[in-house]
Amino acid sequence: MKASLIISIYKNVQALERILQSLREQSVQDFELILSEDGNDESVAQFVRGYDFIWPMQHLTQEDQGWRKNRALNRAIVAAKSDWLIFIDGDCVLHPKFIEMHVRYKQANVILAGKRVKLNSYLSKQTLQGSLPCMLPYLLNRRGCRYVEEAFYLPIAHWLRRKVRHIVGSNMSMSKEALLSINGFDEQYTLPAVGEDYDIEWRLLAKGYRIVSLRNLAIQYHLYHKENWQDQAINMRYCNDVKSRQEIICKKGINTLS
């Protein structure tokens, strides 16, 4: 198989079902699917038992003891059967070329990084109902959508593509070897953001990896929901402290999994 697609999920079955529909529309189908659940919700388990998966699939769960997404991701890294890992979140619907782009540009020494279009409430409802209608006209005429420029699929020469300053955890890929070399995600982050992407970024860059942009190639549509946590001060303080000591290999990561 060409890649392992790791989807971080938490209770939202409706969004998961729509993501799986977008996976059926992918131009590349040779991938493994890993549902990385930060919890053990019965509604998710029931949905998974009844869904007709057409790809090799693993559903990994753990007890719901607060935000432990990084631990769930580390378990997915270990379980992955492919050497190339693509990460998305459970609220991001994929463009049909999404996986193809992450597979086409993979290299042993790179982190592939795309962005996401943030849909408004109206378009999110339309998308969840199964339609992703000629999205650009809708995006351009609907208030509340953000990063609309990321919705243009532009398969142009690599040197013309827009660069990325930082990776986002919902649209990135890298080799399994890369993540094993830094002991995976740091489980000492207990709040979302920073530990899911920025922390991984600086540690891999320090290891000698480089970022390659997939903007306007690996496109995803982020479903609207109210932000339930915004302050990143606690995570940034911890990250800056670790970074100042150049602790590239985190202390609590894959090595502490039982």
- Number of compact structural domains in the chain: 1
Give dist(CA 170, CA 50) in Å, integer: 26
Q: Strand locations in the chain, DSSP E?
A: 3-9, 31-37, 57-60, 84-89, 92-94, 110-113, 117-118, 172-175, 210-213, 220-222
Predicted confidence at residue 178, as pLDDT, reads: 98
**How confident is the model at residue 16, as a pLDDT?**
97
Q: Mean pLDDT of successive 10-residue segments in the chain (258 residues)?
A: 97 96 96 98 98 98 97 98 98 96 96 94 85 59 80 74 90 98 97 95 98 94 79 92 97 94
CATH number at residue 189: 3.90.550.10
CA 17 from centroid of its chain's CA atoms: 16
The token duo for 143 is: 């208030």
Strands of 117-118's sheet, edge to edge?
92-94, 220-222, 117-118
The model's pTM: 0.95
| Nearest residue to 115 (alpha-carbon basis) of 174, 185, 161, 164 | 164
Edge to edge, what strands does the sheet with 57-60 contain? 57-60, 31-37, 3-9, 84-89, 172-175, 110-113, 210-213
For position 145, what pLDDT does the model report? 85
The whole-angstrom separation of Cα 124 and Cα 133 is 11
Q: How far is CA 152 from CA 170, 220, 224, in A?
A: 18, 11, 19
Which residues constitute the domain of residue 17? Answer: 3-256
